[in-house]
Amino acid sequence: MSAAEQTEDQRPQGRVLTIAGSDSSGGAGIQADIKAVTALGGYAATAITAITVQNTKGVSAVHPVPSQIIAGQIDAVLSDIGADAIKTGMLATSDVIETVIKALDAHGGPLVPLVVDPVMVATSGDRLIDEDAVATVRDALLPRAALITPNAPEAEALTGGTIEDMDSQQAAAEMLLEMGARAALVKGGHLDGDVIIDVLATRNGVRLFTRPRIRTRQTHGTGCTLASAIAALMAQGAPLDRAVEDAGDYLHEAIRRAPGFGEGSGPVNHGWPLSGGA
């Protein structure tokens, strides 16, 4: 069943289409998305936007996927399997963003909640989006988002403000609502302190999610993982605030149980809910 054929009274089936880049190291991007969605009981389908050559130490090359192939993947999934939530990650150029929007609109667009992770820079510091694409995210993709999940630097790029503390996080989140997003989660992991505060703003108000910071270099792909986890829970019928809370708890534990792979910023343990042990 296509996304366009879905109706609001149909029971969510946990199907998530993730549209993002591939990470050869398995810690971020499409690979992280598949792992997170699966670990939380959803079904992951994909449309790959770019192939990256990377490991925990950095990104050494990026090979873009042609626009017609990106659109073809989206159409193939939505015209057959369908989706209960859609998540976007690495969309490196304005052309890619416009391709994705057109492909989604062909299948009903707003009928399926869209979680936008505005990936701009890898954990290693390597840039993954061009300057023009930032404006296209802000002007064209953000107004379609059921939820946008920027970290502090990404929120600064989208709003033009400076984020230094919880108050400026909240101001940025509320500005993202004014810019058209139905909800905004401005994450606090890039800010200093022993406690990480994520700020969720919706039309109904603001909610804070507070967790102790885990001092570790094992944070590769945390943004991808969180956004995909939220999408997986929403795809199974969880309300937004519950999906954000539970996905944050899942990620916190995944960081705590990280396997310690690699010489740089290592991956988290996406599969811990399936391990059956503490």
Which residues are catalytically annotated?
A: 187, 219, 221-224
User: How far apart are alpha carbons 75 and 72 in whole angstroms?
Assistant: 5
Classify 26 as helix, strand or coil. coil
Beta-strand (E) ranges in 103-170?
A: 114-116, 147-148
Q: Two tokens at 248?
A: 């944050």
Please, which residues have CB within 8 angstroms of residue 8's CB and are 6 or more apart in sequence?
none
Helix (H/G/I), strand (E/B), else coil: 87: strand
Locate the DSSP E strands across 96-234.
114-116, 147-148, 183-186, 195-202, 205-212
Q: Which two tokens stand for residue 30?
A: 């499409």
Other beta carbons within 10 angstroms of residue 212's beta carbon come to 11
Check residue 193 and give left, alpha or beta (phi > 0: left; psi -120 to 50: alpha): left
Spell out the long-range contacts of 135-140 with Cβ–Cβ below 8 A and sequence spacing 24 or more.
Answer: 135/94, 136/94, 136/97, 136/98, 137/91, 137/97, 138/179, 140/97, 140/98, 140/101
